[in-house]
Amino acid sequence: MNPILDLLSAHRSIRTYTDESVADEHVRAAVEAGQRASTSSAVQAYALIRVRDAATRERLVALTGNQEKVARSGAFFVVCGDTRRHRLACAREGAPYDARLEAFLVAVIDASLFAQNVCLAFESMGYGICYVGGLRNDLDVLDRLLEIPEGVYPLYGLCVGRPAENPLPRPRLPLDAVLFEERYPDDRTMQRHLDAHEAALGDYYAKRGRAGRTWTASVAKALSVPRREALAAYYAKQGADLG
């Protein structure tokens, strides 16, 4: 329909990259595009840390559950929600910093809108990207490696590089399963959407040699046991009020 919609619909996470590094000018262009994202009351509660050091990136491979792409991508970044500069601004104004859960949510939301704009900018320049939530496996170690100060909340990693693979696009839920009119649908309707999604995914899994897999099984596997239970303590230590 237009080049931007084409770019959006062409997205697939890329996990294998050529050896090409990501030029600083491309990083700067992508981050500038990221900064144009909407931001709650213009607070711009985010920061992006590029990690170049090979030894640090190897440490992060282990930390993320052996995700080799963290060391092998053309560039690796850590996306952070950032309230540090708000704390400094309050101090400059002689005011206390007394923001609560709302401020933490704003930081997560702002950082994610920023990050997704950054990703789209990279994709528009022919790069592939992959977010890395595995970074939250051990935030205490990450914190020490990157000297993260109070008020900064590392959220996830981001691999960027020239694609060395061409994966099948991963199907999404049917449009009607996420776009509702006036009110939220009942569970029977929701179940029908799940059936439609499973039917569409069957083909995708079969093409990838994983016939028999289901979306509900993978969701249940991921969400039926607590994961990363140290997160609340870590973010609270960083100054987030999660109460």
Ligand X SMILES: Cc1cc2nc3c(=O)[nH]c(=O)nc-3n(C[C@H](O)[C@H](O)[C@H](O)COP(=O)(O)O)c2cc1C
The least distance separating ligand X from the CB of residue 170, rounded to whole angstroms, comes to 4
User: By C-alpha distance, which of 127, 137, 138, 144 is closest to 56?
Assistant: 144
Indicate which single residue of 13, 21, 56, 214 sits in contact with ligand X (rule: CB under 6 A): 13
CB nearer to ligand X: pick between 73 and 83? 73
Binding flag, residue 133, ligand X (CB under 6 A): yes
Judged by CB under 6 A, the residue of 108, 111, 130, 158 near ligand X is 130
Q: Could you tell me how many residues make up the chain?
A: 243
Range list of β-strands (E), the chain: 46-50, 75-82, 128-132, 152-161
How far, in Å, CA of 75 to CA of 157, rounded?
11
Interface positions, 153-192, toward ligand X (CB under 6 A): 156, 170
CA atoms within 13 A on the CB side of 202: 7
Residue 12 found at the interface with ligand X (CB under 6 A): yes
Using rule CB under 6 A, residue 15 touches ligand X: yes
* Shortest Å, Cβ 87 to ligand X: 25
CA–CA separation, 243 and 239 (whole Å): 12
d(CA 29, CA 194): 39
The binding track of 65-104 with respect to ligand X, each residue x by CB under 6 A or -, is: --x-------------------------------------
Residue ranges in contact with ligand X by CB under 6 A: 11-13, 15, 67, 130-134, 156, 170
